[in-house]
Amino acid sequence: MKREKQIVTIVGAGSTRTPALIGSLVNYKDRFPLKKLVLFDIDKSRIDAQKDYIRLVMEKHCPDVELFFTDDEDKAYIDTDYVFCQMRAGNFEMRNYDEKIPLKYGLVGQETCGPGGFAYGMRSIQPMIDMVKKIREYSKDAWILNYTNPAAIVAVALDKVFPNDKKILNICDQPYSMIKSFAKILEVDMYDIEPRYFGLNHFGWFTKLYQSSTGEDLIPKLKDYLTNHEFKPYNAEQRDPSWLETYKNVNKMMKHFPRYLPNTYLQYYFFPDEIAKKSNPEYTRADEAKAGREKEVLDICRQAREQNSLEGLPLLMGQVHGNMMVEVAESIAYDLKKVFVIMARNEDIIPNLPKDAMVECAGALTENGAEPYPYGEVETFYKGLLENQYAYEKLTVEACLESNYEKAIQALTLNRTIVNPNKAKSVLDDLMEVNSEYWILK
């Protein structure tokens, strides 16, 4: 059957992840064919930096697709089918503060976990709400696929503000990336693996990895392997040192809690002191990513602009982020019912957790969106951790929507990377100062 062509809008298209996402769209052009691609960012200079490379790639590989760059939100969402949202409120400049300020207090400095994730969440919520409203003005039926971080907090906020909007899907690529790494270790095709998973975003566990072709659960084999071997990402050779360290910490977590396979992000909650101590307060992941991915992508784009051709330049490819985004959209667009780890309102997925939590679990993506698989009750240890973390997320959203300082202190005190309310206050006051353009608390 011929697949109908789609209109896609990328929000936050000035991200240096965009060229690789375009690479995925090119790679999947027969599976997810495009009619029009809109690249929208409020920061025109970031789009301009990458525009020529993107234009040349699209002219070469998808000449029939209409391409439109804009910094005008009133032009971005007209009759669109899919919005891929990857905005970063405050850009790298603010990510830098999110990571460095907590380290001053001996706390984890991370963009999505701990105080940094809190500050970033407070910045993301309002622009995301405004974006959904704008999209609904121009395209009431568009699918909004959100990857904006901290996705855990954004998901709770959007669900609270738009409880009846069935076409918002929050999804993270870390489980996808981990499955790709598991598949390499196990020497199987990643698309032959169907995961089972429970938790919250950046706070969850794999419980099963079914091999679809045989029905076998590969978790026991993988656990065996990880007891004796270092866990490495599938693309270890291209990864920066901090990410390799992160994957190694999965081995360490499994020594204490061998029951399930933890998401790498749990390292920040189990080993906050060790991680804060090891971090260099002058050089965090933001610096590493800037010196690595940002520089590499911007150099390629600059060359494309100067020579006005792609000669000698690679086609940047999104092995994880880009491929997953397009595969997710494809599964929804053509009702493929492929299984992903997704976020959904709990209701009864995990009956002994709050109904309004946005849990992360396995689910099939159909033309009606996510159909999450019921998980069942979680055991006491996990229940305790998850309730605590969800309380943190919920209070963060409430603090933001109500500008409520006290709730912010409560949230940060609940966060396992902080715990001490004195530290919560110190770090909050500092973060509030540098974020004054984005959020205030009273």
Active-site residue list: 173, 265
**How are the residues of the chain apportioned to helix, strand and coil, as percentages rounded to the nearest 5?**
50, 15, 35
Smallest distance from the beta carbon of 299 to Mn ion, in angstroms? Answer: 26
Interactions with ligand G6P, residue window 226-285 (CB under 6 A): 285
Interactions with Mn ion, residue window 150-179 (CB under 5 A): 172, 174
| Pick 136 or 293: Cβ nearer ligand G6P | 293
173 interacts with ligand G6P by CB under 6 A = yes
Q: Is 202 annotated as a binding residue?
A: yes
Q: Which class for 242: exposed (0-12), middle (13-18), buried (19 or more C-beta within 10 A)?
A: middle
297 in Cβ contact with 316 (< 8 Å): yes
Smallest distance from the beta carbon of 285 to ligand G6P, in angstroms? Answer: 5
Taking CB under 6 A as the binding criterion, the range among 77-85, 167-175, 375-383, 398-406 that sits at the site for ligand G6P is 167-175
Q: How far apart are CA 322 and CA 219, in angstroms?
A: 26
Both tokens assigned to 371: 């159909």
- Residue from the set 172, 357, 399, 431 that interacts with ligand G6P by CB under 6 A: 172
Taking CB under 6 A as the binding criterion, the range among 20-28, 41-49, 135-143, 171-179 that sits at the site for ligand G6P is 171-179
Contact partner at residue 289 from ligand G6P, Mn ion, none, CB < 5 to 8 Å by partner kind? ligand G6P
Q: In what order do the strands lie in the sheet with 338-345?
A: 338-345, 358-366, 369-372
46 interacts with ligand G6P by CB under 6 A = no
Smallest distance from the beta carbon of 436 to ligand G6P, in angstroms? Answer: 24
149 interacts with ligand G6P by CB under 6 A = yes
Interactions with ligand G6P, residue window 107-146 (CB under 6 A): 112
Q: Is 95 annotated as a binding residue?
A: yes
Smallest distance from the beta carbon of 246 to Mn ion, in angstroms? Answer: 12
331 interacts with ligand G6P by CB under 6 A = no
- Residue from the set 154, 168, 289, 427 that interacts with ligand G6P by CB under 6 A: 289
Contact partner at residue 285 from Mn ion, ligand G6P, none, CB < 5 to 8 Å by partner kind? ligand G6P
Q: How does strand 193-200 pair with strand 203-211?
A: antiparallel
When computed from its CA atoms, the radius of gyration of the chain, rounded to whole angstroms, is 21
Q: Is 172 annotated as a binding residue?
A: yes
| Pick 112 or 207: Cβ nearer ligand G6P | 112
Site track 371-400 with ligand G6P (rule: CB under 6 A), x = hit? ------------------------------
| Pick 33 or 127: Cβ nearer Mn ion | 127
Residue 3 DSSP code: P
193 interacts with ligand G6P by CB under 6 A = no
Q: What type of residue sits at position 315?
A: L
Q: How far apart are CA 184 and CA 87, in angstroms?
A: 31
Both tokens assigned to 109: 């400095």
Q: What type of residue sits at position 370?
A: A
Q: How far apart are CA 358 and CA 268, in angstroms?
A: 20
DSSP string covering 110-170, please?
-SSSHHHHHHHHHHHHHHHHHHHHHHHHH-TT-EEEE--SSHHHHHHHHHHH-TT-TTEEE
174 interacts with ligand G6P by CB under 6 A = yes
Q: How far apart are CA 71 and CA 46, in angstroms?
A: 10
Site track 115-134 with Mn ion (rule: CB under 5 A), x = hit? --------------------
Q: Which class for 126: exposed (0-12), middle (13-18), buried (19 or more C-beta within 10 A)?
A: middle
103 interacts with ligand G6P by CB under 6 A = no
| Pick 100 or 423: Cβ nearer ligand G6P | 100
Q: How far is CA 85 from CA 92, 144, 245, 337, in A?
A: 17, 7, 29, 22
- Is the omega angle on the peptide bond into residue 354 within 30 degrees of 0, that is, cis? no
C-alpha torsion sign, points 121, 326, 180, 299: negative
Smallest distance from the beta carbon of 302 to Mn ion, in angstroms? Answer: 29
| Residues found near ligand G6P in the complex (CB under 6 A) | 112, 149, 172-174, 285, 289
Which residues participate in the annotated binding site? 95, 149, 172, 202, 285
| Residues found near Mn ion in the complex (CB under 5 A) | 172, 174
